[in-house]
Amino acid sequence: MREKSRHPKHLFGLVLIALFVPLTLAGCGGGGSEGQFANEAPGEYPVEVVNAGFEPRQFVARTYDLVISARNTGDETIPGMVATIDLPGRTSTLAFAARDPQPGLAQPQRPVWVMESGYPKLAGTIGSGGAATANRRTFNFGELPAGQTAEMVWRVTAVEPGVYRLGYQLSAGLGLETKAIDASGGTPGGFLTVRITDKAVLTKVDQEGNVVPLTAQEQLQLKLKEAN
C-alpha cells in the first residue's frame, strides 16, 4: 500500500517537468528567426544617403541640428531604418561624446554635444521620437517602405570646444543579418568634420524674431562704428 501511494506523486512530478521544459525552451527564444530580431527579414536592402548636414563651424552653448536623409531605393520595406552615430577614434560608448584617456576617472565619457530631450526623431514628428535602443550610439527609426525617404534629426547643443570628426553609419535593422547597402555594395555612411569654438559670437535679432549671428560685413561695419 505504501508503494502505491508514492507512484501518483512521482507521476505528477514527471508531468510537471514535461510541461516546464518546453516552456523554458520557448522562453529562451530558441535561435535563428525566433530570437529578438524575428520581425527583421534577413537580407541586403539598398539605401541611398540623400543628404547629411551638420553645421561645420559651431559655437559652445548654441544648438544645431544633425540631419541625415536616407532613401529606400529597393523594392521591399526596410525592417528598421537604423543609424549609428559616433566620433571615430574617441572610443566612447555614447553618441556625440569622447572618452577621456586619463586613468581612474569615475566618468570618463565626456559629452561634446548634449542631445535635446525627445530627440532624435523623424522630421515632422510631434513629441518624442522614441528611437533609442540598448546601444546608446544606435537609433532605430522604424520601417521604411520602398521608395520612401526618412529624414532623421538630432538636435544637439555644443558643449566642448575642439575639432571633431563625426561618423554615421546606416543599417536596415538591429540584427547582424539585416544589412543596408549603397550603390557600390558597401555600408551607407560617411563623416562630417565640425569645429567648435568657445569664442563669443556677435548676434542680432532678425525680422522673424530669431537670434542669428552677424555676417562678416555687419561685424566690419560694427568695428568701424566703434572706431569712430
Of the candidates 198, 202, 195, which has an alpha carbon nearest to the alpha carbon of residue 223? Answer: 202
The answer to whether residue 18 scores a pLDDT higher than 70 is no
The residues with which 157 forms a beta bridge, in sequence order, are 63, 114
Domain annotation covers residue 105: yes
For residue 38, what pLDDT is reported?
58
Assess contact for 78 and 172: CB atoms under 8 A.
yes
Q: Tell me: do 153 and 124 sit in the same domain.
A: yes
CATH code (residue 173): 2.60.40.10
Q: Tell me: do 55 and 147 sit in the same domain.
A: yes
Domain annotation covers residue 224: no
Q: What percent of the chain has pLDDT over 70?
A: 82
Q: Tell me: do 16 and 88 sit in the same domain.
A: no
Domain annotation covers residue 35: no
Report in angstroms the alpha-carbon separations of 126 from 15, 60, 150: 53, 27, 15
Write out the residue range of the structural domain in which residue 19 sits.
2-30
Q: Tell me: do 14 and 75 sit in the same domain.
A: no
pLDDT, tens only, 142-168: 999 999 999 999 999 999 999 999 999
Domain annotation covers residue 215: no
Domain annotation covers residue 173: yes
Mean pLDDT for 82-93 is: 95
Assess contact for 97 and 87: CB atoms under 8 A.
yes
**CA atoms within a 13 Å half-sphere pointing along the CA-CB vector of 148:** 15
The residues with which 179 forms a beta bridge, in sequence order, are 44
For residue 16, what pLDDT is reported?
39
Average pLDDT, the chain: 84
For residue 145, what pLDDT is reported?
98
Report in angstroms the alpha-carbon separations of 19 from 27, 60, 137: 13, 61, 41
pLDDT, tens only, 96-143: 999 998 888 888 899 999 999 999 999 999 999 999 999 999 999 999
For residue 209, what pLDDT is reported?
77
Q: What percent of the chain has pLDDT over 90?
A: 64
Q: Tell me: do 11 and 55 sit in the same domain.
A: no
Q: Tell me: do 195 and 89 sit in the same domain.
A: yes
- Band the pLDDT of 36: cuts 50, 70, 90: low
Look up the pTM and report it: 0.74
Q: How many folded domains does the chain comprise?
A: 2
